Structure 1
Amino acid sequence: MPELLYLLCLLASAAGLGLRKSEYITACSRNDPNLNECALKSARESLHQFSMGDPSRGLEPLDPLYVPIMTVYLPNENGLKLTFKENSFCGLSALRLNDLKFDLNKKLITADALVNLDVQGTYDLSGKLLVIPIKSSGDSTIKLKNTNLHIRFWYEHVKCDDDEIHWKIVKHDIKYEVEKATFRLENLLNDKVIGDQVNRFLNEMWREIVADVGPTISQSLSAAVVDNLTKLLDQVSYDKLMPE
């Protein structure tokens, strides 16, 4: 899930990155006994701005974030096929970091975060609801309330062309829990009774839908953020990212 955004912001804010000082927070020393508190404070203060991207460093905006397609079958492939298309996820810039820890010996970063997401897109729906054949398309709205993110990043130190040591992300792991998801499909067969019935059915099965589309969302968001993070770490050495 969108959960990776916080780390990108953290790495930018915690070290200053040599960017315009008026826009970013001062560095946190890796020898600071309160490193985690310093980094968390820095990330919180610069998260919103950094999520808007930085063209000077080739970093793309992350709010809204585009996910082209997500498909779910309800209750299985013999029932309804629902495809969400052209999905714009809004809300990442308001992500809240609740906890952040660095283990410099294990080269591990962990964090907990909370975010609410509004998703605007379109849908294609086909199949049967009970014995009623359904085929429809239109605008869709998804709201993901209180999504808790649990994230781990493993990194290595590598020497780059500038003869300085840089961080390289080699692995990441994301787990999430959504408190509540709501769905709204518009223009369902131009029939309010059927439309209300289908929307009610979807919202009764919100956990199953989230379980099915969650991996697609996570993969899309991870790819976007890791791409930005890779560009950033290629440009900024470890000593600048987290000085002594």
Structure 2
Amino acid sequence: MNNSSGSSFITPCREEDLPCLKASAQEAVPILAAGIPSMGIATLDPMHVDRVKTMQAGLLMDFRNTSVTGLKHCKVLMLKRHGPLTNLDLKCSVTMVGDYTLGGKLLIMPINGDGRYAIKIRDIVVKIQFHIGQKTRDGDQYWVVESWKHTSEVEKGVHFRFKNLFNGNQELSDAVHNFANSNWRDIFHEVAPPIVKAIVSKIVSESTKLFDKVPIKELVIE
């Protein structure tokens, strides 16, 4: 097969061949994570997230200059295509490091602080569903992502570390960390959705640039 578009790392599969789709997607993960400058695909590991600021459930959260590492080791659990819908399930472990400002209540605990943070997530399963259309360019058909949605669930655990909570009051800081790391699942549901969405958005927007450069005939076997 002549992969004129430079997509030689992609193994075309039949739509019904799930093992082939999964293996082909897995092969692409570290290549996409490293970035493909010729296709305009930015590096995803490390990924830079400029800012996520949100207020929810009485908690103001502002995460800045976040660096996300670990995405190149994501495991593809499933890739399935059915008509315009494509479902991709990934399992990843990532570390996020950056600057934070928090103020308000973390579930039942008052919290405020401003400084450096680190959040380690072990085995988060992200399920992404794409609605994909097609366009024709220069006689070739290309995929276009029209919309997408995602869900996420952490299987193993989340560890939080916020420096300079309560202006460096160690006792209050320890109490919040003990609470957060013991109740990581509830805290994750409270704190993480906006930042997880920002990460997934970047994965989707960068990796699907591939569809604009590689015609469908090089991605699937009809």
Q: Specify the TM-score bucket, using the shorter chain as the normaliser.
A: 0.7 to 0.9
Q: Mark the CA change 1:125 to 1:213 in structure 2 (over 3 Å): closer, same or farther.
A: closer
Q: 1:227 aligns with which of 201, 205, 208?
A: 205
- Please tell me the residue identity of whatever aligns with 1:89: V
Greater relative contact order (CA < 8 Å, ≥ 6 in sequence): 1
Match for 1:167: what amino acid?
A: W
Q: Is the 1:17–1:241 contact (alpha carbons within 8 Å) kept by the matching residues of 2?
A: no
The correspondence for 1:69, drawn from 43, 52, 55, is 52
Equivalent residues in 2 for 1:34-53 (5 A)? 35-53=17-35
Partners of 2:39 and 2:100 in 1: CA distance: 35
Residue pair 1:141, 1:183 contacting (<8 A) in 2 also: yes
Instruction: Give RMSD over aligned pairs.
Output: 2.8
1:89 to 55, 62, 68: 68
SS of the aligned residue for 1:233 comes to: helix
CA distance in 2, matches of 1:187, 1:27: 51
- In 1, the alpha carbon distance for the partners of 2:92 and 2:68 equals 11
Q: Are the equivalent residues in 1 in contact too, given 2:32–2:41 (CA < 8 A)?
A: no
Aligned residues: 216
Give 2:86's match in structure 1, choosing from 102, 109, 116.
109
Tell me, yes or no, if the aligned pair for 1:110 and 1:151 is still in contact at 8 Å.
Answer: yes
2:42 — aligned with what? 60
1:27 aligned partner: 12
2:169 matched residue in structure 1:
191
Three-state SS of the structure 2 residue aligned to 1:100 is: strand
- What TM-score, normalized by structure 2, do the two folds share? 0.82
Query: Is 1:142 aligned to residue 142 of structure 2?
Result: no
Does structure 1 conserve the Cα–Cα contact (< 8 Å) formed by 2:111 and 2:176? Answer: no
Question: SS where residue 242 of structure 1 aligns?
Answer: coil
* Contact 1:112–1:151 (8 Å) recurs in 2: yes
Instruction: For residue 61 of structure 1, give the secondary structure of its aligned residue in structure 2.
Output: coil
Q: Which secondary structure does the structure 2 equivalent of 1:212 belong to?
A: helix
Change (3 A) 1:155 1:125: closer
Name stretches of at least 5 consecutive residues in structure 2 with no aligned partner: none
Identity of aligned residues (%): 30
Give the counterpart letter for 1:61 in structure 2.
Answer: T
Structure having the higher Rg: 1
3-state DSSP class of the match of 2:6?
A: coil
More strand by share: 2
The answer to whether the 8 A contact 1:183-1:203 is kept is: yes
Change (3 A) 1:216 1:16: farther
Distance in 2 between the 1:223 and 1:55 partners?
A: 19
* SS of 1:113 mapped into structure 2: strand
